[in-house]
Chain A
Amino acid sequence: MITGTPKPIEEILEMIEPYEKIIVAGCFGCVTVCRVGGEKEVQVLASTLRLAREAGGRPLEIREVCLERQCDPEYLDPMRPYVEDYQAVLSIACGAGIQFMAEKFARTPLLPGINTGFLGVTERQGEWAERCQGCGDCVLHLTGGICPVTRCAKSLFHGPCGGSVGGICEVSRDVPCGWQLIIDRLKALDQLENYGKLKPYKGWSSARDGGPRRIIREDMI
């Protein structure tokens, strides 16, 4: 899922300072699962902002909405009849959802209520960890299901660097060496021969280095 963290209330209050009537928009997708931008978070954020603003003598009118997804046009359409009745939309979806809403509602300022994090997993309640950088050329079948692009701090492709000591990455004592994880897992799977099958080089043109990416599936158009 796409993860995120709430922006500090002070920062949001500063963002909405010019406005008196806004929409707070959540998303039932990833941000609901990681408890940062779903229906409950919309309610809490809206209440918090109303309390803070009214206590400061400038009451704020808020319409609370939570869309099925903010990254698909059909779920944004229901907002169209009323979105321009409000001065701004404070979205607590991921950066993709916020931008898509901004594209669809060209005359309404869009404000981000969260800081979007990464593609990750829930390791335990309240703790998420990055697992994928969307490089566009997956090699997990050769690396025991552990991604060298994401789990190695340097995204190395041919084994650990000299900064790997006792299975720990030099970047932080809390970061396991991705390549140590890969080799341990390949050994456990009796697939160590896969280590030698890795490509001589990795093409990064399908990754972010090639600029903003687009997927076109002719079979679906």
Chain B
Amino acid sequence: MSISIVLLPCTGRIEEAVLLRAFEKGADGVMVIGCLEGDCHYVNGNIRARARVGRVAGILETIGFGPERVRMYNLSAGEGAAFARFTGEFVDQVQTLGPSPINLARGQQNQESTEEVAAT
């Protein structure tokens, strides 16, 4: 499973729409990694991000994608080992869940088009 890292100055910049857009673009899961709570350079960016991640999880649950596909972690910039551990943990979680419903639908559609081409 491949991972794309998107750098932002603060998790407070992350709107719900940005997270949902990642799923539209084909992500099977999105993890948001912010600074430790209480350590935000912009005071409460990571607190806002946590609330937004929670709302997106609710939306994903409503539309049948599952709330586990999005998750917030908090780390300090010096915790490289914890970053690797959390990433591995999240990747395992997403792999257990499998492809997102939108990727399944796209995969099925591609298979059907391939079959149609093969039949002609």
Contact = CB atoms under 8 A, between A and B. Distances in A.
B63 interface: yes
Count class of interface residues, chain A: 10 to 19
A199 interface: no
Contact of B23 (A43, A51, A56): A51
Nearest to A48: B59
Contacts of B24: 47, 50-51
Contacts of B21: 47
From B65, B105, B108, name the one whose CB has the most chain A CB atoms within 10 angstroms: B105
Contacts of B64: 52, 55
Interface string A31-72: 000000000100110011011101111000000000000000
Nearest to B22: A47
Nearest to B58: A9
B65 A56 contact: no
Nearest to B17: A43
Given A9-B62, A9-B63, A10-B62, A47 B20 contact: yes
Given A9-B63, A48-B59, A48-B63, A54 B106 contact: yes
Interface of B: 15-17, 20-21, 23-24, 59, 62-65, 100-102, 104-106, 108-109
Given A43-B17, A54-B102, 4 more contacts: A50-B24, A51-B20, A54-B106, A57-B108
